[in-house]
Amino acid sequence: MVITVVGVGLIGGSMAIALKEKGIASKVIGVESNPAHQQKALELGLVDEILPLEQAVVASDVIILTTPVNALQQLVPLVLDQVQNQVVMDAGSTKSGILELIKTHPNRGRFVATHPMWGTEYSGPEAAVQGAFVSKATVICNKEESDEDAVILVEKIYKELGMHLVYMNAVDHDVHVAYVSHISHITSFALANTVLEKEKEEEAIFELASGGFESTVRLAKSNPAMWVPIFKENRDNVLDVLNEHISQLRKFKACLEKENYTYLTDLIEQANKIRRIIK
């Protein structure tokens, strides 16, 4: 099976590695607009060749779109215009907008909307890693709108990558990822800016930053070219979770201002209940 990966960065590059290692793809074609990324993807052996999009689509059985979500708005309809019986899938972090855009496309059934729940704070082909998707979840959205054979093939690919499957409608997906993923990045960006604003001694940050700070602020290294489009596309849900997060921060602030340490203890104990969900 020949598979094209459009956008050979962290996700696309890691997927290319896995597709080759698992023997899912006999050949991986890369489509990449950044010349430096093209060269690096070839040097690292992530893809077998780089082709223009139209040539790659014609030559492929499966096309995987792993670009930022704003690029997907142009790419998905463009690719669907060109496919015959090929399967098209994406790895975007938001789903409602793109599915609304293509709902009447004549080749809508060849597209399977997916979101593999994995990533790091790094970007580019050199960020690609082996074993990225093993034991992680991938979400398949609105599967009933896709052709049955397309869904079966996508399910098979993800299972062979070692992932387990979760099914949601696009609206629910976008709400849930706002709460469990998107707010984490905003919090990390804001915390990094807070520390950079208040702590002018870079050496002190480097020397004193413990594991707790390092793990919390890790996501602040993430690429704005990826995350600004996500926040824009999922704006309403992100604003909803952000308002709740600000409300929670105000509770902690009020406890310290009023020296109400009993309520502060209650807030922390309430937060500790997350242990039941995340070990």
Quick one: which of 250, 252, 246 has its CA closest to 267? 252
DSSP secondary structure, 168-190, as one string:
E-HHHHHHHHIIIIIHHHHHHHH
Beta bridge partners of 6: 31, 65
- E strands of the chain, at which residues? 2-6, 27-31, 49-50, 62-65, 87-90, 111-116, 137-141, 164-168
Confidence (pLDDT) at 132: 96
- H or E element in which residue 14 lies: helix 10-21
Domain spans, the chain:
2-168, 173-276
End-to-end CA distance of the chain: 39
The C-alpha angle 224, 228, 229, rounded to 5 degrees, equals 125
Residue whose entry in the numeric block shows the structure tokens 């707790």: 212
**pTM: predicted TM-score of the whole model, two decimal places:** 0.92
Query: Which residue stretches of the chain have pLDDT < 50?
Result: none
Confidence (pLDDT) at 210: 67
- Report the SS3 class of residue 148: helix
Confidence (pLDDT) at 32: 97
Helix axes 235-257, 261-272, angle to 10 degrees: 140
From residue 278, give the alpha-carbon distance in Å to each of 67, 133, 180, 217, 272.
Answer: 29, 19, 12, 19, 10
- For the segment(s) 173-276, the CATH number from 1.10.3660.10, 3.30.470.30, 3.40.50.170, 1.10.490.10 is 1.10.3660.10
Q: What is the CATH number of domain 2-168?
A: 3.40.50.720
- Report the SS3 class of residue 66: coil
Taking the CB of residue 45, how many other CB atoms lie within 10 A of it?
Answer: 11
The predicted-structure confidence for 12-53, as pLDDT tens digits, reads as follows: 999 999 999 999 999 999 999 999 999 999 999 999 999 999
